[in-house]
Structure 1
Amino acid sequence: MSDALQLILEDTDGTQLETSCTRFAVVWQGRELWIQQNNGQLLIGVDIEDGDSEYANLLLRPMATNLVSLQLEMEPVEADEEDDEHVHGPDCGH
């Protein structure tokens, strides 16, 4: 299964641009909302900022025709020096 997401971007005038990527972000209320496919699920997560004690991930799983499961996962932010240097990649699972 490919981790590529097929995107359709649309301008206000209705012009559409089709593209694909493995991960993309939407800036919403000043935070980056990252969306990617992970093991057949759609993972939606918010980047953390200084002072955050938890981060949230929404998992959208296909269940059957026209049905999906939505699960919210809250995970503690680990204060680790290595995490400060972490760069997201296709194998990190974030």
Structure 2
Amino acid sequence: MSNDALQLILEDTDGTQLETSCTRFAVVWQGKEVWIQQVGNNQLMIGVDVAEGDTEYANLLLRPLATNLVSLELEMESADLDDGEGHVHGPDCNH
């Protein structure tokens, strides 16, 4: 197993568990693919793929609920398709 592999435990409603591993996985949530992968230093990156022509973008909100429990929310916001300056969003613009 590679160092960047994630060990997953998938559980059915009856409690049956299946163990597997992968380098990246997605959960389809509110119609969007929420991707999770390890990025080094024992950190997880969580991202939502944006398709060309999307009029909304996703914000992921992580809130602590208790010592060992967090809440993850997916919120959709309108995409600013024209910023008035003709800026084209790309992978390096950090928008």
Indicate the residue corresponding to 2:64 in structure 1.
none
Q: Displacement, 1:78?
A: 1.1
Q: Distance in 1 between matches of 2:3 and 2:51?
A: 30
Indicate the residue corresponding to 1:45 in structure 2.
47
Gaps of 5+ in 1: 59-65, 67-75, 80-94
The two structures have a TM-score, normalised by structure 1, of 0.55
Give the alignment of 1:10-89 within 5 angstroms: 10-40=11-41, 41-52=43-54, 77-78=89-90
Structure 1 residue matching 2:52: 3-state secondary structure: coil
- Two-structure CA RMSD over aligned residues (Å): 3.1
Rg larger in structure: 2
Indicate the residue corresponding to 2:65 in structure 1.
none
Q: Percent identity?
A: 75
Gaps of 5+ in 2: 61-67, 69-87
Q: 1:29 to 1:53 in 2, by over 3 A?
A: closer
